[in-house]
Amino acid sequence: MSNIVYIATSIDGFIAKKDGGIDWLFEVPNPDGSDFGFSDFIKNIDAIIMGRNTYELVLTFGNWPYNKPVFVLSKTLQSVPNNLTDKVEILNENPHSVIKELNSRKYFNIYVDGGKTIQEFLKQELIDEIIITRIPILLGEGIPLFGVLTKEQKYEHIKTDIFNNALVKSYYKRLRN
């Protein structure tokens, strides 16, 4: 059972530009069309939790990219497009309640995505693993991955992979007392 963050950041720790733009993520050369391990990661995931901003960004991609159930955390959204009703569900609950609900539905390995959502799950100590791919760019400002925590959380470094001599992907597992 794990709640996992899988995300890319700039070297200076931003997940998006100040306006939410992520175009810089696609500027890294990718001559072989690799997904840098995402398909292997997603195979072991039961469900995805994301925030409203991330969900709205994913909607701009065209085709829906996920074949796993997606739960969007939002206080304002009421419905999803008709073509996604069997793929996306909106929840207006706190992180502990969301995890309890998804676990009751037999979803135990959960991918948590979206800046504010990740920060809230971290604040409530609900993240078990973090996989961060650092992109070789300094944005200078933007939406940070991490926010303020009420107490420190310790993680063990599991491994680091390097892709195309540019992307640095590190795996961390939460150390719990």
Q: Residue 49 sits in a domain of what CATH number? A: 3.40.430.10
What percentage of the chain carries pLDDT values higher than 70?
100
* Predicted confidence (pLDDT) at residue 73 exceeds the cutoff of 80: yes
Residue 119 has pLDDT above 80, yes or no: yes
Pairwise CA distance, residues 72 & 88, whole Å: 7
* pLDDT for the residue 138: 96
Q: For residue 37, what pLDDT is reported?
A: 86
Q: Is the pLDDT of residue 177 over 80?
A: no
Report pLDDT for 30: 77
Q: What are the pLDDT digits (tens) for 97-107?
A: 999 999 999 99
Enclosing domain of residue 40: 2-174
CA 81 to chain CA centroid, Å, is 22
What was the pLDDT predicted at 165? 87
| Residue 48 or 177, more confident | 48
Mean pLDDT estimate for the chain: 93
- Could you tell me what percent of the chain has a pLDDT over 90? 80
Residues of 52-73 as b/e, b for ≥16 C-beta within 10 angstroms?
Answer: bbbbebbeeeeeeebeebbbbb
Q: How many separate domains does the chain show?
A: 1
Q: Tell me the mean pLDDT in the region 109-138.
A: 96
- The DSSP symbol for 42 reads H
How confident is the model over 129-167, as pLDDT tens digits? 999 999 999 999 999 999 999 899 999 999 999 998 889
CA atoms of 5 and 57, how far apart (whole Å): 17
